[in-house]
Amino acid sequence: MRCIRYGMIGGGKDSFIGAVHRAAMRLDGGWSFVCGALSSTPEKSKASGVEAGLPAERAYGTWTEMIEAESGRDPADRMEAVVIVTPNDLHAAPAEAALRAGFHVVCDKPLCTTVEDAERLEGLARETGSVFAVTYNYSGYPMVRQARRMVLGGEIGPVRRVLVEYTQGWLATKLEETGQKQALWRTDPARAGAGALGDIGTHAEHLARYITGLEIGSVMADASSFVPGRGVEDDAGVLIRFKEKDGVSARGVLVATQIAPGRRNDLRISVFGETGTVEWHQETPESLVVSGLDGPTRVLHRGGDGLCAEARAATRLPPGHPEGFVGAFANIYRGVRSAIRRSPGADLDYPTIHDGVRGVRFIRACLDSARRGGAWVDPG
Ligand SMILES: NC(=O)c1ccc[n+]([C@@H]2O[C@H](COP(=O)([O-])OP(=O)(O)OC[C@H]3O[C@@H](n4cnc5c(N)ncnc54)[C@H](O)[C@@H]3O)[C@@H](O)[C@H]2O)c1
């Protein structure tokens, strides 16, 4: 399959996730990095692009310049997809411009900061027929795919309860006051749109929906800013009522906090069905714990015997040779690549703009609920 030529917006020097996307695309092997507008000023943007390996003439000063210049290039060598890894307030405008210019889009989460923008982008993606992925990367882990297959295949019975928590400690103090780049925009309501709910809660929400196949019917949330003077929530607890499936209306608890000392990137989920339980932890992602009503608890290992086709397909290395974050991202990129190239029978499992819209609606519903003292709110 011919490599997909992509341009990146964001992901410049000293940034976090852009380099992870580029590494994941290299690991997947089907992508070619041809241009970018990687930083917030034209000088830095050009310098970042050249440092990341781009030819100087395609290391653009701004994303508007990049979209315009690439649109004018010969179709045989212009970019085909745009990857957006800027702060949250800078997702919607470049995504819209990229769609209007006929490019495919991969955007990091949250899709954007308002439901109105999210729905407009979804409509536009439908109209243009472009592939639009939102990188809920945790759904790319082999053992998460195994968990999904088992739950959807009825191996634990109808789901009754989901516990999902995403806990971090890096914002337990006022890190933004030190000028730390990632903390600065994440705690600025105008740039982030939301705090812990938007930064990590939306990953937890997607993971719960992905593994269970359930949709959220309503939420009741409590959100706090423990660090004095912080303009966004740094901690949230959410009760979830899922829509009924198989005659059961499952319940969930979601915790998203960034003020938990000692917690690094602690995303974990337990799904309790009528007859069994599956449990997965992002910091030990190679295993899945499975229990029944009785009998011994089993630990399934990535690469081991008895796993489903989806988990095997998401695996690159033999068991005991740890894979992780970048590999999971690469699995998402494989799905996106197959969708762009319309490969018959290929793996098309990647989070779409539909998931992005649901994520933004979830964040808004939680913040509405918290503001209203814990009312039940339907995210729509
Ligand atoms: N999926 C994940 O696991 C994951 C992890 C981290 C971050 N994210 C998301 O990725 C996005 C970026 O987060 P980050 O931690 O990498 O942030 P960051 O601050 O490290 O990087 C942001 C980058 O965007 C650049 N930028 C800012 N304005 C720009 C502009 N006008 N034009 C071009 N570039 C511009 C900055 O210079 C920087 O290079 C956020 O939306 C965040 O929520 C996702």
Question: What are the chain's domains?
Answer: 4-137 (3.40.50.720), 142-315+353-371 (3.30.360.10)
pLDDT band, very low/low/confident/very high, at 347 (cuts 50, 70, 90) = confident
Task: Give yes or no for residue 17 CB within 6 A of ligand 1.
Answer: yes
For the cut 70, the answer to whether the pLDDT of residue 1 exceeds it is no
Segment 166-177 mean pLDDT: 98
Q: Mutate which of 13, 20, 40 to test ligand 1's pocket (most atoms within 8 Å of Cβ)?
A: 40
Residue appearing with tokens 């739950």: 151
In 3D space, the residue among 303, 298, 300, 299 whose CA is nearest the CA of residue 314 turns out to be 303
Percent of the chain with pLDDT over 70: 100
Task: Give yes or no for residue 315 CB within 6 A of ligand 1.
Answer: no
pTM above 0.85, yes or no: yes
Mean per-residue pLDDT of the chain: 97
Whole-number Å distance, alpha carbon 249 to ligand 1 midpoint, is 37
Span 123-156, pLDDT tens digits: 999 999 999 999 999 999 999 999 999 999 999 9
The predicted structure's pLDDT at residue 343: 81
The predicted structure's pLDDT at residue 249: 96
For the cut 90, the answer to whether the pLDDT of residue 346 exceeds it is no
Span 260-271, pLDDT tens digits: 999 999 999 999
Task: Give yes or no for residue 15 CB within 6 A of ligand 1.
Answer: yes
Whole-number Å distance, alpha carbon 364 to ligand 1 midpoint, is 21
